[in-house]
Amino acid sequence: MESDDEIRAQLRTLERAEAAPYTDFRPTPRWFLPAAALWGGSLAAFVRLSRSDSRPAEIVAVVGIIGLAALIGAYVGWYQRYHGATPSLFRRKPPEIRRVMAFYVVGAVVVLAVNALTVAVAPWWVCAVVGFVTAGTGLWWYERAYAAAAAATKKRLA
């Protein structure tokens, strides 16, 4: 019969393995934040252009949005190969990571609301700037908060 210490050690090993997809990862490439901010700014600008009275601007907007959708699809495919085991928003995760992901969702809603308001009242170039700044700032915060949460999880499970 196993002792309580052996069972606790096994449970700790199991918990570490369960947390591994959330804590053991390669760093995001340096190009990610500026590229994602540029993507966010471009999307905001294209959405604004799609609301234009000009037929050529609408066509540019639709083609641009389709191109951005293709880019995000290619990025997600690449990132899954790069990361290996991609963390999920929906599976069980360590509490430190869960907290950061909850803030991420709230932050994404705020960023979307700010950009929707901007698209409703501002010209396309203002939308591009606001989209760039909000997406870039939000992702910059998330990258740092996630890394700190992953380190705290590793420390707790050590």
Tokens of 91: 């599976």
pLDDT at 22 over 80: yes
Return the residue matching tokens 């591009």. 128
The residues, any chain, with a CB within 8 Å of residue 76's CB and separated by 6 or more, are none
Q: What pLDDT is stored for residue 13 in this prediction?
A: 86
Q: What pLDDT is stored for residue 1 in this prediction?
A: 55
In whole angstroms, what is the distance from residue 148 CA to residue 100 CA? Answer: 9
Band of pLDDT at residue 117, cut at 50, 70 and 90: very high
Return the residue matching tokens 């294209």. 46
58 by DSSP, 3-state: which? helix
Q: What pLDDT is stored for residue 62 in this prediction?
A: 95
- The residue extents of the domains of the chain are 30-157
pTM here is 0.87
Band of pLDDT at residue 3, cut at 50, 70 and 90: confident
In whole angstroms, what is the distance from residue 105 CA to residue 151 CA? Answer: 21
Q: What is the mean pLDDT of the chain?
A: 92
pLDDT at 16 over 70: yes
On the 0-12 / 13-18 / 19+ scale of CB atoms within 10 A, 142 is: middle
